[in-house]
Every structure is written in C-alpha cells, then in structure tokens.
Amino acid sequence: MKSIPPFPALLFLLSAIIVISCQEKTENVPTLQEQLQSKLDSIQGDVAVAFFNLSDPSDSLLINADEEFHAASTMKVPVMIELYKQQEAGNLDLNDSILLKNEFKSIVDGSPYSMDIGVDSDDVIYSKIGTTVALKDLMFPMITVSSNLATNVLIELVGAKNVTATMRDLGASKIEVLRGVEDQKAYDLGLSNSTTAKDLMIIMAAIAQNKAGTKKDCDEMIQIMKDQQFNEIIPFYLPEDVAVAHKTGSITGVHHDAGIVYLPDGRSYVLVLLSKNLEDFDKGTEQLAGISKTVYEYVVGK
C-alpha cells in the first residue's frame, strides 16, 4: 500500500503547487503593452499611444509616441496655456474683451480668409461677430466645443510662435503650432500644426502637476477641459464616477483625444490617443475608446 506523506510534508507540497500555479498564471497574463498592441493591430489606420501614471511616475507606456500627427484641435490646449501665461505676465486679462471678427490672414502670403459656420462646431459664437466678447468667453468654447472662430481670434492675439516657444519650455520638443484653423493656402503647402503623443502627454502632465502655470491657472484649465462636450474616446467606456479633463481633435481620417483621467480613489493618469489614415472613422473611434477602457482597467487593477 502507498504510504501517505506526514502532514507537514503534505502541507509543504500543496504550498509549492499553489506557488507554481500562481507563477504560471501571472506569467500568462498579457502585459499592458501586449494588450494594447493587440488592439492597435486590429485598427485600420496609424495610432500612437502615450500613457503616464501620475500616481506612479515609474509606470508609463509609449507606443509610436514620437511619430508626428496633424494636431487637429488638440493644439487648442497649448493656446489656452499661452493665454494664462500671458495673463500672468501682465500682457492681457482674460476678463478683458476683444472685438470678434471673422477675417484672418494666411501665413503663406497674408491674404485674407474667413471661417465657415457650416464647418465649425460652434455656431452660437457667429451671432456675436462685430461685438466685443471677453477673452475667457472665447477660451471656454475653444476647448469645450472646439470653436474654430474663437481659436483663430485667440491665436492671433497671443501669437503662434509664442505658443510653440512655451511648449518647448514645458519640454514638448516636437509640437508645432504654426497657424490658426482653416488656412487653406497653408494646408495645401503642408504647413499644418503638428504634434506627437509624447508631447501631448508632457503638456497634459504639466497641467496636472501645476507646471503649466500657477496652481490656480492649472486648476481652471482642468475644470474647463472637464466640461469637454465631445466624449467619444477616452471617457466613452469609463464609469460615470471617473472624471476626464481632455481635448479632442478630428479631421478627415484623423481622431485624437488627450486627457487627464481622475479616479474616485484619488489616483490619476494621463492618456493620449492619436490616429490618422483611419479607413473607417466611426469604427476606429470605437476601437480607440476600447483602448482607453483597457488602460483604465489596468490602472484600477494595480
């Protein structure tokens, strides 16, 4: 008859089996990069991801993060930062008013062009053309509803070169803010605002960490971005008790989202998702939202 091991030996044997089983289970769990890469491979287009855990700076992930993308409306966040910077320097006051006009100069030859209400996401502001509007009342729709008219008025006020220079000071080495929106002559020559996922991650982290201005200014910027009205990507699959301060951007075949995600337990992280050459815009958008969900589940599960 087969002998039964003494109880201490049996206990040791069972413990060893459990440890080995747990190790095998851990080793079989895909890493965050593997999970995201699998999702990226299913997207018909080019995508970049930048993730930075604000609660654990050693925890970050960059995928195609140095690749350049048309910035689309994500460049409006740097414009907002510049407005606060110039206010702090005494060059302007966000409570001051400015004449709202709809005529701008191309960076190519100085020829005039105007915005088309039919392709802008903010039609309300067009009723105010010819009147004076407070700068803060232009900045808010620039971010929350991505008003192109408000953007052009503000970027002309603070200067595109100044915006880019400020981004360099924050450590964003590749982002280029060259011009306002809908400058067709510039677009035809390839003169467009551009960015990388890494640079937008640096910019968003600077706001979250009160490095993009005073704490009061950064708090105000975060609150404005929390009022974002386009929520098809980063927040889409996240629980309602998760707050997201973010800015989207889209043009043909391009859909971006860059933001700061705040969890109910006080932790937070930055996530940037950039895309271009999307063959199916709606499907690609949904897939990007799925990537945001995967990152959220990763952070929550830590």
Summarize pLDDT for 122-178 with one digit per residue, the tens.
888 999 999 999 999 999 999 999 999 999 999 999 999 999 999 999 999 999 999
Gap between the Cα atoms of 231 and 248, Å rounded: 8
**Is 160 within the bounds of a domain?**
yes
Summarize pLDDT for 8-45 with one digit per residue, the tens.
544 444 444 444 444 433 345 579 999 999 999 999 99
Count how many domains the chain has: 1
Partners of 244 in beta bridges: 261
What's the rounded mean pLDDT across residues 181-198? 94
**Is 29 within the bounds of a domain?**
no
CATH number at residue 165: 3.40.710.10
**Is 241 within the bounds of a domain?**
yes
Per-residue confidence (pLDDT) for residue 143, from 0 to 100 = 98
**Is 13 within the bounds of a domain?**
no
Per-residue confidence (pLDDT) for residue 26, from 0 to 100 = 38
Is residue 46 pLDDT above 50, yes or no?
Answer: yes
Gap between the Cα atoms of 146 and 128, Å rounded: 17
**Is 19 within the bounds of a domain?**
no
Is residue 114 pLDDT above 50, yes or no?
Answer: yes
Residue 98 CA, chain-centre distance (Å), reads: 28
Q: State what percent of residues in the chain have pLDDT above 90.
A: 86
Minimum mean pLDDT range among 18-27, 47-56, 197-206, 210-219: 18-27
Tokens of 50: 């930048």
Query: Could you list the residue range(s) of the whole structural domain that residue 276 is in?
Result: 34-300
Contact predicate 234/292, CB 8 Å = yes
**pTM of full prediction above 0.85:** yes
Per-residue confidence (pLDDT) for residue 124, from 0 to 100 = 87
Say what angle helices 148-158 and 160-169 make with each other, to 10 degrees.
80
Rg (CA), the chain: 23
Angle made by CA atoms 95, 98, 100, in degrees to the nearest 5: 130
Across all residues in the chain, what is the average pLDDT?
A: 91
